[in-house]
Structure 1
């Protein structure tokens, strides 16, 4: 059966009309078929300014799924963006949802190419959106050489669990720098810096 919601978003993607996607479909009943979080332009401006202030010049998204969020962020902010996924078989099969950015595939144990990207991530912001795998999260952070991570996920009382959660769910190696709610959704964008970084801790 034809999926009009997905087809509409695919058409908007082809014409680079990210604004219509976030303005018109953030509360669509089928929105989670492609994306859990639909940021507002204010959220995207917040992310752009915060990462620029922290001297980041690109974003690497871990577990990016379809890549729709990453494409929106890239179009809105101008930051070069890559997405990593572990299940290459699924995302390349005919039953998978459409993808909106080229995906880099790795194994759950991290292959040498992914490790190299992480180890050379000095100006990279590492993004986790609705991530739900604590051991994998720790593995990525253990290799990552950069100073900035972004966690997007649900706040308390939403009935949705992620691992890590956006607040107070990282080691003491990381300090909360800034945060902002996504619209009034009880989802939050939390930006963390390494605790030995000189960037200002601000809420």
Structure 2
């Protein structure tokens, strides 16, 4: 669940935001409280509130580098994002997208939208955030939205028409899954996706953290691993796949 960062494009932030396919969604700056009584519970909540508030402040200033440099190993980082790529990782992603003629990313399961914001800020790519657990992420109990996103459902029968259109009109769009944990939903999205580039971000072999799919799982006979890079030295990886016909 995912993301926030961007490298300034020639056009301004407001213009780029207008170009993105996001649905504007307001979200209160609230954290999920840890149900622990007494002073310890208050300290945990205070730490969470402080972490989220600091990230929000940096987001308002557009300081994506400070977010990834300062908070990649913060004890509360998983509240907003499971993996904090480095500037080098974002450069790798940007250069690979350019090689594959992709100028947009459709990020499925975007959660808070932190990774999506980070990608936009660091690369200048347009990113469309889609959250499949719409009921939870649209509730007042969820962490704040750090980027606009489309809320939908994992079930294709109940999927928002706009999401289906984005999946099908995707010649220059890569689809991204970061720490996705729903294999059947992943299969459903990939079946509807008409593009030729997929990005999987998640744990490498032996890390002991659940994700479905993981970066080096077999995606099917139609997909080839094009390139990959480890995120810092975390045994998290960014794996980029292309459809077999597109690779040949």
The normalised TM-score by structure 1 is: 0.94
More helix per residue: 1 or 2?
2
Match of 2:121 in 1: 75
TM superposition outliers: structure 1 runs of 4+ over 4 Å: none
**Which SS does the other structure have where 1:192 is aligned?**
strand
Matches within 5 A, 1:1-203: 1-2=45-46, 3-110=49-156, 111=159, 112-198=161-247
The alpha carbon displacement at 1:157 in A equals 1.4
**Which SS does the other structure have where 2:194 is aligned?**
coil
**Which SS does the other structure have where 2:201 is aligned?**
strand
Q: Distance in 2 between matches of 1:150 and 1:162?
A: 14
**Which SS does the other structure have where 2:246 is aligned?**
coil
How many residues of Structure 1 are paired with residues of Structure 2 in the alignment?
199
Q: Distance in 2 between matches of 1:89 and 1:198?
A: 38
What's the CA shift string for 1:35-64, capped at 9, x where partnerless?
A: 101000000000000000000010000000
The normalised TM-score by structure 2 is: 0.78
Q: Distance in 2 between matches of 1:159 and 1:168?
A: 15
Which ranges of structure 2 fall in alignment gaps of 5 or more residues? 1-44
What's the CA shift string for 1:129-179, capped at 9, x where partnerless?
A: 000111111111111110100000001111102111100331111000000
The alpha carbon displacement at 1:183 in A equals 0.2
Deviates more, 1:81-90 or 1:135-144: 81-90
Q: Distance in 1 between matches of 2:197 and 2:50?
A: 38
**Which SS does the other structure have where 2:207 is aligned?**
coil
The alpha carbon displacement at 1:192 in A equals 0.1
**8 A contact 2:138–2:151 mirrored in 1:** no
Which ranges of structure 1 fall in alignment gaps of 5 or more residues? none
Higher relative contact order (CA 8 A, sep 6+): 2
**Which SS does the other structure have where 2:247 is aligned?**
coil
RMSD: 1.1
